[in-house]
A = this chain, B = another copy of it.
Amino acid sequence: MDERAALTLLENELEAAGDDAAVVDGLVVTTDMLHERTDFPPGTTRYTAGWRAVGASLSDVAAMGARATAAVAVYAAPSFDRDELLAFVRGASDVCELVGAEYVGGDLDGHEEFTVTTTALGRTDDPIRRSGARPGDLVCVTGTLGRSAAALELFERASDADSSTEAEQLRERANDYFRFEPRVDAGLALAPHATAGMDSSDGLARSLHQLGEASDCGFAIDAADVPVDDGLAELADEDGALERATTFGEDFELIATLPANALADVRAATDVPISPIGRVVDRDEGITIDGEELPDRGFTHG
């Protein structure tokens, strides 16, 4: 059984599963595990790792349209270096502070591969679910797509760099791209209006397929409206950038559907850019980009 089949099995087993986070009596809880090999490319600082790992869970809270309250992490590594550990905690604390949550620690664990499990908590009385999108609704994304793809490209270029100075500069840019603002503020602005939503961590294409399945709908996306990040656009040709922005994932923006007449209110309620990228359509119209089928390809989290 592959991971997606196993997840579906669990969704059927557990009532609270199936969204980006579980909600129990208004309390939002979500947990995630990240590994050095699959999630932290060589050159990722421990500060960035702490930020990104905790940020990924805060993004799930944001996707539910919830207030973020607290986060914890288990830091598992073969050995504990004082500076690395403190940098990780600072990254974790800083991303929490950015969204008004508190990083309250967690646990340490000896493990041969650097592995981090993060849990974030939030509160909402009216969560945004993956089901609920209605034909005619706008599909919107927050911020830009492709920052993580750009970071990966920069980490790779750093590995191939001619000088250590150049490598250092590339790694610093890569780390900047690799950290992100969890969209808690945008989620709160979307919450009163969104008919459905989730985060983009599996990539836009895969996320739309998941939303389509949960909401029993299709999507008609306009390629020109997809907000490709400038950093990625600089590093790739135009087609390549759109392709990666659409399928690469790992970006932690929000994808939400809402009535067209609610867009102005959402925008007024947050400083985060909200881009309409298309419309919700009937299920039998499928999921398309500029009229072409958008296949269910993307990042399956390992």
**Complex A-B: 15 CB contacts under 8 Å:** A1-B79, A1-B80, A1-B81, A9-B85, A9-B86, A14-B105, A16-B105, A25-B69, A27-B69, A29-B104, A31-B72, A32-B107, A72-B119, A109-B302, A115-B115
Are B89's CB and A10's CB within 8 A? yes
- Contact between A33 and B74 (Cβ–Cβ < 8 Å)? yes
Q: With contacts A25-B69, A33-B74 known, is A1 near B82, CB below 8 A?
A: yes
Assess whether A6 is interfacial by the CB under 8 Å rule.
yes
Which B residues touch A29, using CB under 8 A? 70, 72, 104, 119, 121
Interface string of A34-75 (1 = CB under 8 A from B): 010000000000000000000000000000000001101110
Q: Does A269 contact B (CB under 8 A)?
A: no
How far, in whole Å, are A17 and B22 apart by their CA atoms in the complex? 25
Q: Which residues of B contact A9 (CB under 8 A)?
A: 82, 85-86
Let me know if A2 is at the binding interface, CB within 8 A: yes
The interface residues of chain B lying within 8 Å CB-to-CB of A235 are none
- Whether a CB of chain B sits under 8 angstroms from the CB of A301 is yes
The answer to whether B22 and A105 have CB atoms under 8 Å apart is yes
Q: In the bound complex, what is the Cα–Cα distance between A76 and B2 (angstroms)?
A: 12
Copy total for this chain: 2
Contacts A35-B111, A70-B29, A74-B33 hold; do A6 and B121 have CB atoms under 8 A apart? no
A102 on the B face (CB < 8 A): yes
Q: Which residues of B contact A10 (CB under 8 A)?
A: 85, 89, 105, 108
Complex Cα gap A29–B81 (Å): 25
At the interface, yes or no: A103 with Cβ under 8 Å from chain B? yes
Q: Is A273 an interface residue (CB 8 A)?
A: no
Once the chains bind, are B115 and A22 in contact (CB under 8 Å)?
A: no
Asked whether, in the complex, the Cβ of A104 is within 8 Å of the Cβ of B73, the reply is no
In chain A between 1 and 22, which residues have their CB closer than 8 angstroms to a CB of chain B? 1-3, 5-7, 9-10, 13-14, 16-17, 22
